[in-house]
Amino acid sequence: MGVPLNNIIGGGLTDPITGNNYSACNMAGIGTYIVNIQGTELFDGDPTLHPLTAAMTHGFDLDLIFTRQINSK
């Protein structure tokens, strides 16, 4: 895939900075597995949404446990 190993995290892998193993993604709310997609990226180019509200500027927090659950069905 061409993704550097230091950009991949998950159970069974080691954090290169701390040397600790990453926890498994086995429940919601684990900060390591939450990705924030900024509002400016989500709504870029939509002229009906400008100016963005504070909530829209914060963006969307995607908890990867839910993508894991969808993929395992």
Q: Among 3-7, 22-26, 60-64, which stretch is predicted with the lowest mean pLDDT?
A: 3-7
The model's pTM: 0.56
pLDDT of residue 35: 85
Q: What is d(CA 27, CA 34) in angstroms, rounded to the nearest whole number? A: 11
Give the pLDDT confidence of 35-68 residue by residue, as tens digits.
Answer: 888 887 877 767 777 777 887 778 888 888 877 6
Q: Which helix (H) or strand (E) holds 35?
A: strand 34-37
